[in-house]
Structure 1
Amino acid sequence: MGIPLLWQAVRQAASRSSLNLENDCKQSGGWLTDAIKKMKNMKKFFLLMMACGVALWGRAQQGTDVLMATLQHGDEVSVYYGKTALEEAYTAAADSGDVVTLSAGVFSFSNHEFQKSLSVVGNGFVSDMENGIYPTIIEDGLYFKPRDVVDDDGEMVKEGVKVDGIRLEGLKLSYVLFQSSGVIRDFQIVKCQLSGSERPLLFESSTENFVLRQSVCDGVQFGAGNWCNHQNFYICGSYVAVIDFPKEYCTVNVDHSLINSLYQNNLVGLSLGNSIVKASNISSGVVANNCVFIDNTPYNLIGAGNWVDCKYAGIFEESMNDLAWDGVKTFKLKYPEEYVGTDGTQVGLYGGPYPYNPTPSIPQIKESHIDTTVAADGKLKVSMTVEAQTED
């Protein structure tokens, strides 16, 4: 049964008042069973679960043959197909509050400017074809910029439509750029890979309460301009190739991460904790606590509990001579009980509140069977095995 026909069958079944869902779900943790018990409106629940399942079908069933975007707007669910599915979902979405779920595959976003508070969740950035795991790739990258609007009095409101409160999860992108004359707030990049340029995470904007976690990023540039002010910027459980330019008035905190390079003398607004770092120099004023420094004892080092001039062979399980991300090295510690952070967990990627884990949190269908016809009484039999990363 084709995916579009399947979706039609789902909508047909859900429209019948006598809908009776026979769902033989097998999922450790029991979250789906609990959700069913708590759901007062089975029709809405059924539509939501099928939208999520259909959108993720590509992971286990068809690789990247079916490109799909599922737009959730309140209780309404819409599905779009093809390489431009993300663009179509974006166009149909409200200015704030909606969520787009993408299947595995390569999507375009030729709109250039992303000017809505629209969260985008994908199938992850890891590729493992042998096990049927495929990434969600947005080939054009994303450029976030608030939009000017005209109010009811005909007056121009600069940046009246914000790009605040957005969550990007489970995506592989060539870059993410932010541009605003104001402040972009409450933005999360979770379990994503940003690669393809020297500094794929680039700010021409101030931020507040920005989170980069459990991600892989080739570089972060906080903006060379004095007007870029980043407050409560949090990097955790992540690999970052290089960090540069947070000013002295910024509060950029790196926790339980791996940093391959620090841009010397431009990091005065940076605080390092419980991380593994390769750097020969640290700007005056930067504080580092319980960090492992590879091959160097940095100048201007302030803080306590640090390990300096460490060798690769003594730190990591694997044999390596650099901290470059290649998708093969895991960077797991040889002696995790010896290198302990301020919170009592191991330093590096696998300690702290958000240990590195690229598996996205959205449900993923591993096995399924859906009847091809709907009975006269409105019954549609569905059997599926669902897995999700229920813990961050």
Structure 2
Amino acid sequence: MKREFLLSIFLLFVVVYSTAQKSVALHSDGTTTIFGGDAPLIDAYDASITGDTLYVSGGNFVAPTTIDKGLVIIGAGYDTDSTAVTGKTYIYSSTINSGRIVIGSNASNLYMEGMQFQGGLVKSDADINGFTLIRLKIANLYFTNTGIVPTNASVIQCDILGDFHIQGVTYSVISNCILRGRILESNSNVFKNNVITYESGFGTLSNCDANTFMNNIFTTTNLLSDGNCSYNNFQYNIFAHPSPSLQTGATDLNNYKEVDMATVFVDMVASDFHLLPDASVTYLGDDGTEVGLYGGLLPFKEGAVPINPHVSFKSIQTTTDSNGVLNISFTVNAQQN
């Protein structure tokens, strides 16, 4: 399997760099197929079945309006610095659903990593389980369900620019993420080692019940909760507010309050959420590591580089040699996580 994985990635590199075209490699049942053209992601998706893997090169890709299969979809990354050679993988959809991509009812075990979404992801009454979002940059999440069902999802090391609305997503872990909008309709989930930067007066948390918030950094000095939250567990969090509104039945244990964010982050304005040296040893979480993005079991990975082999250098000659050979060289770094 590892050999087939590396072959898929290598073939994708060769197609992209030799043709200067965006491409998608579909790995299915031991066979790799490369898709190019105007809509390679849609074409690869249409040809795939649940359990397949799609490797998406750097470039702008129109996506299916609905993802309704349990696929593994891995891009080249979204961070500008770490994708200087490959280009970032940028995914966009049609204007329906405000540009969001719909997650369908058959997408249990969906895994997506290393991409930026122009819009967000939307799920409405689709009872899926076990999905993973990792190292994605997303406009927002808008998940709704009429009933609460076990979900067991993971949202890890993502940068979510807007609201995090996850009604019907339960027993899930949101870890080492940058959450820039409100957290809405969360029930029975765990939020660990996140930086939560929403600053308006509407309440960072709304209709959130029975969640655990641990080792996070809440930067707001405005209202934390809008009053519709209950029985949440807060431990080892940094709060800028001197007396955050934790609301009915909350557990308040070992939290750090009225903390000046200028003494915490290297450069919050530039979204450099590394802790300053003093802060990294002062504000410790439940496991003894620093609170925020770079602590815990899953520290935020520099450059948000996805798990597939990362191209850090390329050299392509502009002409062939005397034997008609075009010399191409790559530096490809294996990733451990």
TM-score range for the pair, normalised by the shorter chain length: 0.7 to 0.9
Per the alignment, residue 284 of structure 1 pairs with: 230
- The answer to whether the aligner puts 1:132 opposite 2:75 as a matched pair is no
For structure 1, which segment, 231-240 or 310-319, has the greater mean C-alpha deviation from structure 2 after superposition?
Answer: 310-319
Q: Secondary structure at 1:254's aligned position in 2?
A: strand
Return 305-314 or 276-285, whichever deviates more.
276-285
Asked if 1:105 is matched to 2:59, the reply is: yes
Tell me, which stretches of 5 or more residues in structure 2 are unaligned?
A: 94-99, 321-326
Kindly name which structure, 1 or 2, has the bigger radius of gyration based on alpha carbons: 1
Q: Does 1:217 align with 2:163?
A: no
Measured in 1, the distance between the counterparts of 2:240 and 2:197 equals 9
Q: Partner amino acid for 1:49? A: L
Aligned match of 2:197: 260
Match status 1:274 vs 2:215: yes
1:337 matches 2:281: yes
In the alignment of these two chains, the number of paired residues is: 304
Q: Sequence identity of aligned pairs in percent? A: 20
Paired position in structure 1 for 2:151 = 208
Gaps of 5+ in 1: 1-34, 40-44, 147-161, 321-327, 373-380
Q: 1:169 to 1:72 in 2, by over 3 A?
A: same
Please state how far the C-alpha of 1:57 moved relative to its aligned partner: 5.5
Q: 1:313 to 1:365 in 2, by over 3 A?
A: closer
Alignment of 1:115-126 (within 5 A): 115-126=68-79
Higher relative contact order (CA 8 A, sep 6+): 1
Q: Is the 8 A contact 1:72 1:99 kept in 2?
A: yes
Please point out which of 106, 130, 135 is paired with 1:191: 135
Q: Indicate how the Cα distance of structure 1 residues 369 and 332 shifts in structure 2: closer, same or farther if over 3 A, else same.
A: closer
State the distance in 2 between where 1:48 and 1:130 align: 20
Is the 8 Å Cα contact of residues 69 and 100 (structure 1) preserved in structure 2?
yes
Report the Cα offset of residue 368 of structure 1: 6.6
1:207: how far off? 5.4
- Give the TM-score taking structure 2 as reference length: 0.81
1:309 to 244, 258, 272: 258
**Aligned counterparts of 2:212 and 2:82: Cα–Cα separation in 1:** 39
- The TM-score normalised by the length of structure 1 is 0.70
Q: How does 1:53-202 map to 2 (within 5 A)?
A: 53-56=10-13, 61=17, 65-94=20-49, 96-109=50-63, 111-128=64-81, 131-140=84-93, 141-146=100-105, 162-173=106-117, 174-181=119-126, 183-195=127-139, 200-202=140-142
The residue aligned with 2:176 is 237
Partner in structure 2 of residue 24 of structure 1: none
Give how far 1:270 is off: 2.5
C-alpha distance in 2, partners of 1:319/1:260? Answer: 9
Q: CA RMSD in A?
A: 3.0
